[in-house]
Structure 1
Amino acid sequence: MDAIRKNDLSTPVEQLHSNEQLKLRSRFLRGTLEQSLAEPLTGSIAADDALLTKFFGVYQQDDRDLREERRVSRLEPLYSFMVRVRLPGGVCTARQWLALDAQARATANGQLRMTTRQTFQFHGVLKHNLAKHIQGIAAAGLDTIAACGDDNRNVICTANPLFSRAHAEATATARKLSEHLMPRTAAYRELLLQQPASSGLPENEEPLYGPTYLPRKFKIAIAVPPSNDVDIYAHDLGFVAIVENGEIVGYNVLVGGGMGMTHKVPTTFPRLSTLAGFCNAEEIVEVAEHTMCIQRDFGDRLDRAHARFKYTIEDRGIEWFKAELARRRGKPLEPARAFGFTTNGDRYGWHRGEDGRWHCTVFIRNGRIADSAEAPLMSTLRQIASELPVVFALTTNRNVTLAGVEDADRSRIDALLLAGGLAGLSSPAGLEQNAMACVALPTCGLAMAESERYLPSLLHKLEALVEAAGLADTPITIRMSGCPNGCSRPFLAEIGLVGKAPGKYNLYLGGSPRGERLNSLCRENIGEQQILDALRPLLNAYASERAGGEAFGDFLIRTGALSRAS
């Protein structure tokens, strides 16, 4: 059954999911947010307004570590807000880096966090600072609109626009797509930037989205082979650059990917995107708009658990999509062209780009930029941004590349990293170089188990296993998520751990280091010792039986070891 269409409200409103009804009556996302923000007796905003602020890159959260203590003391939860920046392609100038660093210390919790969608998010922003915080981001020439919500999210692409002409074009295209598909509502400017209100509400305030926006979030990624650092198959819409003589001539189009699922609900599942065809470079905005609008018109608005584009494609089929896209465009996609990937990881340390300038990728543990007793990471990166005109290129693996470094400046960056005790971060060793965890507890309201805070401890124990097996420094992709929504893309990892309950995880094995294969559930609802016991014999077998440079996930599939371990 077709879901509600943008200009067709024939489906009775009362049959729509409650979120759809809220969007419809919200006056293009205004709701009662003005009153909520002005209410002085609580650190929270009204529940409906909390849903609407997601469209502006804002999530209401509370410290779950303190919930019970505050409940006993008859205090409301310790509310604060997470604020996420819209940063297409993950590109940040030195000036913007310094501005965001200052904003983190002035109106957030003093830290910057990089996300798996190639941007920054701030935590600990209190309600009375929320508008001021977002205005500070705006002063740096950035914004937070559409960083969350039922719209097109931050458009990501293979990191570093200065590495080659193709990378520069991919980044420019990511920015173009993000701007074109951005919501047009004036509510963001009125309520958070506190600019003059619009006179009246024009019926076409959202010419692409309409009053109910999209059924769920929509994610776009651009990959420049041979790197699949963006995990192109994990997104609603993916574009794979086809490069000839150093120039992008067009893009292969992939549709219907997504990572999220719900435990014990077989109608929800992660899905790899499906190759649909090829479009010329100048057609990419048109293809993206029509694809997003197909999901706007056919996505499920009755059941949010079934509302992602992957289910639209799974239910209707790729041939239906290609025909619908051709009908809207007036012509079909061309046949897909050949491409291949070698890795979905980051290349650490120094490397020289096409124009001769240097680029240094620095490892950032779990994407958290903060000073610690171990190393003054935030201060060191602040000093680099203050002294050198580098571009900060964020990766979707939550590391950062210091890009566009001249020969004369390379030694200065090395000296600053060394002085800050960070020299080793440009070439991390062992399992950590390909490990990633979501934020999870204490701030994520969906988390069922620890992730970011626990992964370093587990990696230490896993390192002992790989060293005992003779696999020290062998790259293995490890992803951990505190819940099955899969923000860290665990279902693509060679070893994926998905939170089930406090201290308990589902163990997934057999993904590819190139990011083009889903892993499989091996063990369910197990603790740390069971995780180690399950992996030990597999790692030992891998050490003795692997073929040449065969990856761990590939070995498990080739030998059938995965099926024997389940």
Structure 2
Amino acid sequence: MDELLEKQKLSADEYIKEKSNYLRGTIKESLSNPLTGALHPDDVKLIKYHGSYQQYDRDLDSERKRQKLEPLYQFMVRVRVPGGITTPEQWLALDKLSDTHGNGTMKLTTRQSFQFHGILKRSLKPTIKAINETLLSTIATCGDVNRNVMCNPNPYQSQIHEEVYGIAAKLSEYFTPKTTAYHEIWLDQEKVGGTPDREPLYTETYLPRKFKIALTVPPRNDIDVFANDLGLIAIEEGNELVGFNVCVGGGLGSTFGDDTTYARLADVIGFVSKEKVIEVSETIIAIQRDYGNRVNRRNARLKYTIDKGGLEWFVDELNSRLGWEIESPRNYHFDTNGDEYGWLKGTNGKWFYTLFVENGRVKDEKGYKLKKALREVALVLNKDADMRLTGNQNLIIGNIEEKDKDVIEVILAQHGVLNNPKLTGLRLNSMACVALNTCSLAFAEAERYLPSLIDKLDVLLTKNGLQTDEINIRMTGCPNGCGRSPLGEIGLVGRAVGRYNLYLGASHNGDRLNTLYKEMLSEEGILETLDPIFSAYALERGEGEHFGDFVVRKGIVEVTDRPVKILCFSENG
């Protein structure tokens, strides 16, 4: 009886997972229903595990209601790209899919994935099937599982980077769900008779919420390692990768009006050798599987599990399950969480060009034909070259021969992409989530609005001689943090159409959250608020002092959230 009562307290999602037959549900039947552009409500939840979200065009909502039509349902599809590396052939195939089945654009996400928007239900299966034909996949890019594993996308930056990228790929493969439902539904593969599905790690109810892993190589924190459930900081000794500092409990989402939800940075709990990183990662996921909140999804991420039990409890549980103790963390240092633009020569003698992609949206505009330019670049690249997505929504054109550099620059210049005069320090360090018009959770614009706001902010910065300063600004349409707004030196979070909360004071290297400064600001309010702060920064900053550190030092905001905590142990543990 007690077990029955406990089960009744579970969130609705837990019942849906349990009865889904390992993520099958009635997705096949929903896809074939011609009477609606939507899926069955339970299948809307389950399709996330297959890499898609059901959405609708909110710009058309009022007009469709007036005509007594259902919303214009459409689907976002997210592509799994461990470490963010694709071939030119894959890029061209995805580019074509965005035109044939999507809205003609591609979104490079903050988790080094591709997103397609505007896909109708009848095109959903052909899209996912075509993605798999490129040897990519969409499985587990959404849902209560481990998501796309992030790392620096240039393995040729050093020998260490190459090894870390390889480990990221292994982690991604190891934690991919084992159910055959994905291949049955989207790829028309038959289930092997008499062989039951099993999920040795996830079990039939999977995790309480999503789980995110990222690996980074100091001194660059270009994937915001502390924003992840599990972060792995590469430790180098004698020019060799010896292992990783393990960080746990990061997550940036929260809910307005609910103080039990909050952004939190991961804590550094210890060091493990590279040979043991999969074992430790699996054990951490298993602890979250067993102890995570399955009653209230708002409090179901690993950060809440740790805060409920205590960090020391978590480390003890980890050591107990491992049967050995992790070591004290090793020293490391981060300089920045941004990207380094332009050409960089790799350890393999090839060249890598990091290109700014505003808010990750690959599209063509008047005088700025980015999508066409990248298509032409992909067509001229040799078989060893590649296209790499960064954790900041940008693109690296990689493994380029010296003789081909000029060809790429000419293509980019011909399409208005190279040397764009609007690429100020603020714009080059900006990020925004999709928000309106497709995200059902958004209260306000983000991706469609931030560029024009930066135009106006740049006027203020130029007036103070700050137009080239690297100040990072991040905007989201809601507090879920998809654009990592809590880690912006300037963070803007939508409260209502045209109104934003302004947060200030995050560190430039991603190890300190920002703090709420003013609420419900209009564009005029944002500009009026930031103008005197920019002026003060120009006159009073210290040498090499970043904007986020300045506003904290001057008391413009008081840091209320602790920075990253680093646990240290005695020699005997």
Relative distance call for 1:229 and 1:264 in structure 2 (3 A) is same
- Name which of 418, 422, 436 aligns with 1:441: 436
Specify the code of the residue in structure 1 equivalent to 2:275.
Answer: E
Partner of 1:477: 472
Specify the code of the residue in structure 2 equivalent to 1:61.
Answer: Q
Specify the code of the residue in structure 1 equivalent to 2:257.
Answer: K
- Name which of 537, 546, 550 aligns with 2:545: 550
In the alignment, structure 1 residue 95 sits paired with structure 2 residue 119: no
Separation (CA, whole Å) in 2 of partners of 1:100 and 1:536: 42
Question: Secondary structure of the residue that 1:533 maps to in structure 2?
Answer: helix
Separation (CA, whole Å) in 2 of partners of 1:240 and 1:252: 5
Cα-to-partner distance string for 1:239-264 (whole Å, 9 max, x where unaligned): 00012233311000000000000112
In the alignment, structure 1 residue 232 sits paired with structure 2 residue 225: yes
In the alignment, structure 1 residue 536 sits paired with structure 2 residue 542: no
Specify the code of the residue in structure 1 equivalent to 2:545.
Answer: E
Separation (CA, whole Å) in 2 of partners of 1:12 and 1:241: 42
Q: Tell me if the contact between 1:348 and 1:426 (Cα under 8 Å) persists in the aligned partners.
A: no
In the alignment, structure 1 residue 423 sits paired with structure 2 residue 418: yes
What is the Cα deviation at residue 543 of structure 1?
0.8
What is the Cα deviation at residue 219 of structure 1?
0.3
Within 5 Å, give how 1:273-422 maps onto structure 2.
273-389=266-382, 390-422=385-417
Separation (CA, whole Å) in 1 of partners of 2:209 and 2:76: 20
Specify the code of the residue in structure 2 equivalent to 1:478.
Answer: I
Q: Tell me if the contact between 1:134 and 1:192 (Cα under 8 Å) persists in the aligned partners.
A: yes
Question: Which of 352-361 and 49-58 deviates more?
Answer: 352-361
Partner of 1:3: none
Specify the code of the residue in structure 2 equivalent to 1:84.
Answer: R
Separation (CA, whole Å) in 2 of partners of 1:166 and 1:11: 52
Q: Which consecutive unaligned segments of at least 5 residues does structure 1 have? A: 1-7
Q: Tell me if the contact between 1:349 and 1:426 (Cα under 8 Å) persists in the aligned partners.
A: no
In the alignment, structure 1 residue 205 sits paired with structure 2 residue 198: yes
What is the Cα deviation at residue 354 of structure 1?
2.1
Separation (CA, whole Å) in 2 of partners of 1:200 and 1:44: 33
What is the Cα deviation at residue 374 of structure 1?
2.3
Q: Tell me if the contact between 1:162 and 1:403 (Cα under 8 Å) persists in the aligned partners.
A: no
- Name which of 128, 134, 154 aligns with 1:160: 154
Specify the code of the residue in structure 2 equivalent to 1:41.
Answer: L
Separation (CA, whole Å) in 2 of partners of 1:43 and 1:355: 50
Partner of 2:460: 465
Question: Which of 428-437 and 450-459 deviates more?
Answer: 428-437
Relative distance call for 1:200 and 1:36 in structure 2 (3 A) is farther
What is the Cα deviation at residue 337 of structure 1?
0.2
Question: Secondary structure of the residue that 2:365 maps to in structure 1?
Answer: coil
Relative distance call for 1:180 and 1:9 in structure 2 (3 A) is farther
Partner of 1:40: 34
Partner of 1:174: 168
Q: Tell me if the contact between 2:445 and 2:497 (Cα under 8 Å) persists in the aligned partners.
A: yes
Separation (CA, whole Å) in 2 of partners of 1:512 and 1:159: 23
What is the Cα deviation at residue 508 of structure 1?
0.4
Question: Secondary structure of the residue that 1:261 maps to in structure 2?
Answer: coil
In the alignment, structure 1 residue 496 sits paired with structure 2 residue 515: no
Cα-to-partner distance string for 1:458-487 (whole Å, 9 max, x where unaligned): 111111111122212111110000000000
Compute the RMSD of aligned alpha carbons: 1.6
Question: Secondary structure of the residue that 2:16 maps to in structure 1?
Answer: helix
Question: Which of 351-360 and 324-333 deviates more?
Answer: 351-360
Separation (CA, whole Å) in 2 of partners of 1:417 and 1:426: 14
Partner of 1:135: 129
Separation (CA, whole Å) in 2 of partners of 1:332 and 1:449: 47
Q: Tell me if the contact between 1:13 and 1:21 (Cα under 8 Å) persists in the aligned partners.
A: no
Relative distance call for 1:67 and 1:201 in structure 2 (3 A) is farther
Q: Tell me if the contact between 1:363 and 1:427 (Cα under 8 Å) persists in the aligned partners.
A: no
Q: How many residues align?
A: 556
- Name which of 443, 448, 454 aligns with 1:453: 448
Question: Which of 311-320 and 495-504 deviates more?
Answer: 311-320
Question: Secondary structure of the residue that 1:359 maps to in structure 2?
Answer: strand
Question: Which of 419-428 and 316-325 deviates more?
Answer: 419-428
Cα-to-partner distance string for 1:414-444 (whole Å, 9 max, x where unaligned): 1111122211269932310001110000000
In the alignment, structure 1 residue 268 sits paired with structure 2 residue 261: yes
Q: Which consecutive unaligned segments of at least 5 residues does structure 2 have? A: 560-573
Q: Tell me if the contact between 1:362 and 1:427 (Cα under 8 Å) persists in the aligned partners.
A: no
Partner of 2:187: 193
What is the Cα deviation at residue 11 of structure 1?
6.7
Separation (CA, whole Å) in 2 of partners of 1:91 and 1:11: 48
Question: Secondary structure of the residue that 1:275 maps to in structure 2?
Answer: strand
Separation (CA, whole Å) in 2 of partners of 1:271 and 1:295: 16
In the alignment, structure 1 residue 510 sits paired with structure 2 residue 508: no
What is the Cα deviation at residue 96 of structure 1?
1.1
- Name which of 212, 215, 221 aligns with 1:219: 212
Partner of 1:57: 51
Specify the code of the residue in structure 2 equivalent to 1:103.
Answer: L
Specify the code of the residue in structure 1 equivalent to 2:539.
Answer: S
Separation (CA, whole Å) in 2 of partners of 1:201 and 1:482: 45
Partner of 2:567: none
Relative distance call for 1:557 and 1:427 in structure 2 (3 A) is same
In the alignment, structure 1 residue 120 sits paired with structure 2 residue 114: yes
Separation (CA, whole Å) in 1 of partners of 2:158 and 2:423: 25
Separation (CA, whole Å) in 2 of partners of 1:79 and 1:198: 34
What is the Cα deviation at residue 129 of structure 1?
1.1
Separation (CA, whole Å) in 2 of partners of 1:491 and 1:436: 12
Question: Which of 36-45 and 385-394 deviates more?
Answer: 385-394
Separation (CA, whole Å) in 2 of partners of 1:426 and 1:457: 15
Cα-to-partner distance string for 1:156-178 (whole Å, 9 max, x where unaligned): 01221222221111111111101
Specify the code of the residue in structure 2 equivalent to 1:125.
Answer: I
Q: Tell me if the contact between 2:515 and 2:558 (Cα under 8 Å) persists in the aligned partners.
A: no
Partner of 2:14: 20
Sequence identity (%): 50
Partner of 2:565: none
Q: Tell me if the contact between 2:244 and 2:277 (Cα under 8 Å) persists in the aligned partners.
A: yes
Separation (CA, whole Å) in 1 of partners of 2:236 and 2:405: 29
Q: Tell me if the contact between 2:354 and 2:397 (Cα under 8 Å) persists in the aligned partners.
A: yes
Cα-to-partner distance string for 1:175-207 (whole Å, 9 max, x where unaligned): 1101101111111111111211343572x6111
In the alignment, structure 1 residue 81 sits paired with structure 2 residue 75: yes
Cα-to-partner distance string for 1:31-52 (whole Å, 9 max, x where unaligned): 1111100101111111110100
Relative distance call for 1:214 and 1:281 in structure 2 (3 A) is same
Specify the code of the residue in structure 2 equivalent to 1:351.
Answer: L
Separation (CA, whole Å) in 1 of partners of 2:525 and 2:416: 36
Question: Secondary structure of the residue that 2:364 maps to in structure 1?
Answer: coil
Partner of 2:562: none
Separation (CA, whole Å) in 2 of partners of 1:419 and 1:466: 29
Question: Secondary structure of the residue that 1:392 maps to in structure 2?
Answer: strand
Specify the code of the residue in structure 2 equivalent to 1:347.
Answer: E
